[in-house]
Amino acid sequence: MNGSENDSNVKTPRGDLAGFTKYLKSDVTSGFLVFLIALPLCLGISLACGFPPIAGIFTAIIGSVLTTFVSNSELTIKGPAAGLIVIAIGCIEDFGGNGMTDGWIPSDMTAYKAALAVGVAAAVLQILFGIFRAGILGEFFPVSAVHGMLAAIGVIIILKQFPVALGVSAGGEPLEMLREIPDYIAEANPAIASIGIVSILIMFFWPMIRAKVSLLKAIPAPLIVLLVTVPMGMAFDLLHTHSYMLQEHQYQLGEQYLVKMPTRVFGMFDDITTPDFSVLRQVKAWKWVMMFFIIGTLESVLSAKAVDLLDPWKRKTNMDRDIVAVGIGNLCASAVGGLPMISEIVRSKANIDNGAKTRFADMWHGVFLLICVAMIPMVLHRIPLAALAGMLVYTGYRLAHPNEFVHVYRIGKEQLAIFVTTLIMVLATDLLIGVAAGILLKMLIHLSNGVPMKSLFKPYIEVEEIDENTSLIVARESAVFSNWIPFRRQIEQIGLIQRRNLIIDVSDTKLIDHSVMEKLKEMERDFEQEGLTFEVRGLDSLQPLTDNANAARKRGLASMRRVTLVADATIEHWLEEELIQLGASGLTSIVCHEAKSNGVDDGVQSCNGKVRLELIAPRSTCDAMLTFVRQDVLPLHSVLVSVENVDVLRTSDFVSDPFPAESESLSH
């Protein structure tokens, strides 16, 4: 955000009629730049889902226009998202389609219409979900399980799209495809693979180039992919069927490697397809309805919440209203042949970065899509499928980025176990079973950490009035993801609805898990936006499982290290200053003398002018101090050092800034 826009004196932009005209230039500009990103991604996501490429465009257009006037989310972009690819292609395959791996055949059309009916039914559930104010149910899912699911989706996208980027037809279960990667590479069509590999390289390296050259910052990587790969496709003459020889092997080229699009102006309307509602009489259809409904709603809520945090003006989305908007968009999109949609985080982030002010930027990106696809579909037909697959490989990599594993591990080993379990189970089974496995594991971990069974789903809280403006909520037993929803409702009712400042006392709980730690941070931001105070007390009486600010906290003694140094009094102040800079707190200093054998006649030699420094610190701080002593002190001075493990009641008594206000959180 720009400093000027962040100034408190700048009026918050609103998506009303006045805002439409006042911020027209910035919203149109951002809408156009987002359109450049959305166009290839909509086509690629649609193909990866086993839908016709135009389906993704239908969704983005309908989503951008309709939801602009229903949702109050100012900066989210609604449209098809990579996170739903796994569900969509699974649904297509379950109804007999093959995701067009062998071209568009009758069974693909049958499966496509069945998936549209599933989308309509899921959309109705989303609308009802929002109308009955059930959006808070998205708060139930533990953070690590959700991100494990997203990482698994990223892995599946990579496995499904990598063969397409190489010009190879492939299918099967994720783990099976993982084993077959060497075969895909061996069977690659060199011409098509060159397009796919170039696309992947551009997606990975263009952000680095753009960061170094300011003039290129507004140009998105997907646009560069198209500018490079469309001429490559023309050079390989993919519009005409022919073959070529390379190393005594014959390879085929032709239009099957290009995006299938209408061949005339306004031809997109010929591709409108209606659902086959008869499939809803089948039991398996409702499995996919629930998958689209649960995962789509959850992803949309998480994305909308993430965008609210990025909004320069910190405007807050009404999640129930936003779910209704997404449901209406999905209902209309599925009715005419479109993909399911959600609030999409990557395009929303680009929308913010490009200077959007109101929700009309979303509308404009849809208008540009409509103009482009309606007027120049024959140009879009020249886009190679391998180029779109390369973009999706990069998208999958971002979802399953190695840093996610490192970050989750830093939060806690138990969080990594939940993350990895969810990921593996999704790959081995499906999304619902994978997420359920992550939730079950988290509950078992909570029980092993002393959470009473009775408080696993029910919070034990007491409410007291401090004064006419402030209330105290005392939490007992536990505060964990599975009992957070009623806990949150109480916080909202007393604080945000009754307009009272809140103090949350958690000192009497046995465990606060990672999910609740993050959600308490969110509540603090919500109260701040409403001009209220939200204070959490008693955290220092619970022991964090790791040094991370959002780590789960458990009642008990914390393990720390006691460091003792004996040195000359002449360097006392220097040592104190350096140790304090390294994080020492509660450092004590005692003047002493050293007594030791003189080594001649077994007499005792006494040395005055010594000082004994003692402190207790976390392991990481202790390690930093020992490194300092080895490198900077011992080469110049004689110092005795000892370290021992100790258990303490409150870690906050021994660290200078144990849990910073600004903490890291899981993100994509």
* Kind and range of the H or E run holding 421: helix 413-428
Backbone angles phi, psi at 356, to 5 degrees: -60, 145
What pairs with residue 461 in β-bridges? 475
Cβ distance 425 to 175 under 8 Å?
A: no
What pairs with residue 647 in β-bridges? 559
Q: Is the pLDDT of residue 473 over 60?
A: yes
Cβ neighbors of 204 (< 8 A, separation 6 or more) are: 394
Q: Is the pLDDT of residue 602 over 60?
A: no
Q: Is the pLDDT of residue 552 over 90?
A: yes
Tell me the pTM: 0.83
Average pLDDT over residues 40-58: 94
Which tokens in the block code for residue 657? Answer: 């800034």
Which tokens in the block code for residue 255? Answer: 């239009």
Q: Is the pLDDT of residue 646 over 80?
A: yes
pLDDT digits (tens, 9 = 90+) for 114-154: 999 999 999 999 999 999 887 777 788 899 999 999 999 99
pLDDT digits (tens, 9 = 90+) for 271-315: 899 999 999 999 999 999 999 999 999 999 889 988 988 899 888
pLDDT digits (tens, 9 = 90+) for 230-239: 999 999 999 9
**Please, what are the domains in the chain?**
24-398 (no CATH), 402-448 (no CATH), 453-554 (3.30.750.24), 559-648 (3.30.70.120)
* Local structure of residue 11 (DSSP, 8 states): P
* Local structure of residue 2 (DSSP, 8 states): -
Backbone angles phi, psi at 507, to 5 degrees: -65, -20
Backbone angles phi, psi at 478, to 5 degrees: -160, 160
Of 197, 152, 613, the C-alpha closest to 387 is 197
Q: Is the pLDDT of residue 550 over 80?
A: yes
Cβ distance 98 to 108 under 8 Å?
A: yes
Please work out, in degrees rounded to the nearest 5, the angle formed at the alpha carbon of residue 136 by the alpha carbons of 135 and 137.
90
Q: How many CA atoms lie within 13 A of 482 on its CB side?
A: 21
Burial of 637 (0-12, 13-18, 19+ CB in 10 A): middle
SS3 content of the chain, % helix, strand, coil (to 5): 60, 15, 25
Backbone angles phi, psi at 608, to 5 degrees: -90, 180
- Cα gap 133→271, rounded to integer Å: 36
Q: Is the pLDDT of residue 161 over 70?
A: yes
What pLDDT, on a 0 to 100 scale, did the predictor assign at position 185? 95
Q: What is the DSSP string of 426-447?
A: HHHS-HHHHHHHHHHHHHHHHH
Helix (H, G, I), strand (E, B) or coil at 205: helix
pLDDT band at 658 (very low <50, low <70, confident <90, very high): very low
Q: Is the pLDDT of residue 8 over 60?
A: no
HEC sequence for 252-284: EECHHHECCCCCCCCHHHHHCCCCCHHHHHCHH
Which tokens in the block code for residue 111? Answer: 């499966």
Burial of 309 (0-12, 13-18, 19+ CB in 10 A): exposed
Q: Is the pLDDT of residue 348 over 50?
A: yes
pLDDT band at 662 (very low <50, low <70, confident <90, very high): very low
Cβ distance 413 to 514 under 8 Å?
A: no
Backbone angles phi, psi at 498, to 5 degrees: -85, -5
Determine if residue 616 is left, alpha or beta; phi over 0 gives left, psi from -120 to 50 gives alpha, anything else beta: beta
Q: Is the pLDDT of residue 563 over 70?
A: yes
Cβ distance 500 to 471 under 8 Å?
A: yes
Q: Is the pLDDT of residue 21 over 90?
A: yes
Q: How many CA atoms lie within 13 A of 159 on its CB side?
A: 19
Cβ distance 79 to 346 under 8 Å?
A: no
Of 170, 152, 185, 148, the C-alpha closest to 48 is 170
What pLDDT, on a 0 to 100 scale, did the predictor assign at position 545? 87
Q: Is the pLDDT of residue 666 over 50?
A: no
Average pLDDT over residues 172-192: 93
pLDDT digits (tens, 9 = 90+) for 323-336: 999 999 999 999 99
Burial of 402 (0-12, 13-18, 19+ CB in 10 A): exposed
* Single-letter amino acid code for the residue at 409: Y
What pairs with residue 534 in β-bridges? 502
Average pLDDT over residues 203-224: 90
Q: Are strands 501-512 and 534-537 parallel, antiparallel or unpaired?
A: parallel
Of 492, 124, 66, the C-alpha closest to 297 is 124
Q: Are strands 588-597 and 604-617 parallel, antiparallel or unpaired?
A: antiparallel
What pairs with residue 439 in β-bridges? none
pLDDT band at 453 (very low <50, low <70, confident <90, very high): very high
Which tokens in the block code for residue 202? Answer: 């551009």
**Highest-confidence range of 360-369, 573-582, 617-626, by mean pLDDT?**
360-369
Average pLDDT over residues 351-370: 95
* Local structure of residue 199 (DSSP, 8 states): H
* Kind and range of the H or E run holding 330: helix 319-336
- Cα gap 238→70, rounded to integer Å: 43
Q: Is the pLDDT of residue 607 over 70?
A: no
Cβ distance 618 to 576 under 8 Å?
A: no
Backbone angles phi, psi at 76, to 5 degrees: -80, 145
- Cα gap 59→294, rounded to integer Å: 19
Positive or negative torsion for Cα 506, 507, 508, 510: positive
Q: At what angle do helices 514-529 and 143-165 cross, to 10 degrees?
A: 100
Cβ neighbors of 237 (< 8 A, separation 6 or more) are: 253
pLDDT band at 660 (very low <50, low <70, confident <90, very high): very low
What pLDDT, on a 0 to 100 scale, did the predictor assign at position 78? 95
Chain-wide mean pLDDT for the chain?
A: 89
Cβ count near 440 (within 10 Å): 14
pLDDT digits (tens, 9 = 90+) for 422-443: 999 999 988 889 999 999 999 9
Positive or negative torsion for Cα 201, 206, 212, 213: positive
Longest dimension (CA), the chain: 107
* Single-letter amino acid code for the residue at 611: V
